């Protein structure tokens, strides 16, 4: 009974994965219900002046680079990040416009890279989950055959049952993690948009 109940999670994953592939065949490994957007568009998050050479030069400024790392970290609360942006630009004096563009360019690069890393990880786990689902289904059929065999080998039945329960629980745990991590790209989008808005407001 336990094996049949736990294996339902595997079937649910298989159905969800098939639905995701049907929804957008361009990304067959994408496991999330949220649509996959490979990169954030600059135009979607920045309505300020053209960034120009700031897109490459922000890395050359140690102070900007350090601040970008702090603001990009998910452990930094968004409210604290917005406050840091305001304080930094308020203290920039005549360099305010330049620093604002450098700061946003750094955030745009860094947060886009974070998104790509998270999304690649999600797709790797999705492929592993599909392989695991196939294996569990195979072993479930094998278990059913063992249970119906005459004479029945109870030791083999128990061993395979325990193995299936263990594998399916690992599968379920991974599935829960995937659902949680699927929210991360959206959170990164929101952080970049919010910080970009603060930077633009401070430039005005």
- pLDDT at position 147 is 87
CB 204 within 8 A of CB 46: no
pLDDT (tens digit per residue) in 121-170: 999 999 998 898 888 888 888 888 888 888 888 899 899 889 988 988 89
Residue 40 resides in a domain: no
Residue 13 resides in a domain: yes
Residue 97 resides in a domain: yes
Q: What percent of the chain has pLDDT over 70?
A: 89
Q: How far is it, in rounded angstroms, from Cα 68 to Cα 84?
A: 10
Residue 93 resides in a domain: yes
Residue 9 resides in a domain: yes
pLDDT (tens digit per residue) in 66-115: 999 999 999 999 999 999 999 999 999 899 999 999 999 999 999 999 99
The number of folded domains in the chain is 1
Q: Count of CB atoms within 10 A of residue 144's CB?
A: 12
- pLDDT at position 33 is 87
Residue 78 resides in a domain: yes
- pLDDT at position 8 is 56
Q: Which residues form the domain of 123?
A: 2-34+45-203
- pLDDT at position 11 is 56
Residue 29 resides in a domain: yes
Q: What percent of the chain has pLDDT over 90?
A: 53
Q: What is the mean pLDDT of the chain?
A: 88
The secondary structure of 74-133, three-state, reads: CCCCHHHHHHHHHHHHHCCHHHHHHHHHHHHHHHHHHHHHHHHHHHHHHHHHHHHHHHHH
Residue 19 resides in a domain: yes
Sequential DSSP letters for 136-190: HHHHHHHHHHHHH-SS--HHHHHHHHHHHHHHHHHHHHHHHHHHHHTTHHHHHHH
- pLDDT at position 149 is 87
């Amino acid at each position: 009974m336990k094996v049949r109940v736990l294996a339902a999670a595997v079937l649910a994953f298989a159905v969800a994965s098939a639905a995701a592939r049907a929804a957008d065949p361009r990304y067959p490994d994408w496991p999330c219900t949220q649509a996959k957007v490979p990169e954030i568009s600059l135009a979607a998050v920045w309505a300020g002046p053209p960034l120009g050479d700031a897109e490459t030069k922000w890395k050359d400024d140690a102070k900007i680079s350090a601040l970008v790392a702090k603001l990009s970290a998910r452990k930094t609360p968004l409210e604290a990040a917005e406050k840091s942006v305001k304080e930094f630009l308020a203290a920039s004096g005549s360099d305010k416009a330049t620093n604002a563009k450098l700061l946003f360019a750094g955030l745009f690069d860094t947060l886009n890279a974070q998104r790509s890393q998270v999304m690649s990880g999600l797709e790797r786990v999705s492929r592993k989950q599909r392989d695991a689902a196939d294996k569990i289904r195979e072993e479930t059929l094998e278990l059913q055959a063992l249970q119906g065999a005459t004479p029945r080998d109870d030791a083999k039945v128990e061993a395979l049952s325990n193995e299936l329960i263990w594998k399916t629980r690992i599968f379920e745990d991974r599935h829960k993690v995937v659902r949680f991590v699927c929210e991360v790209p959206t959170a990164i989008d929101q952080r970049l948009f919010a910080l970009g808005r603060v930077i633009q407001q401070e430039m005005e």
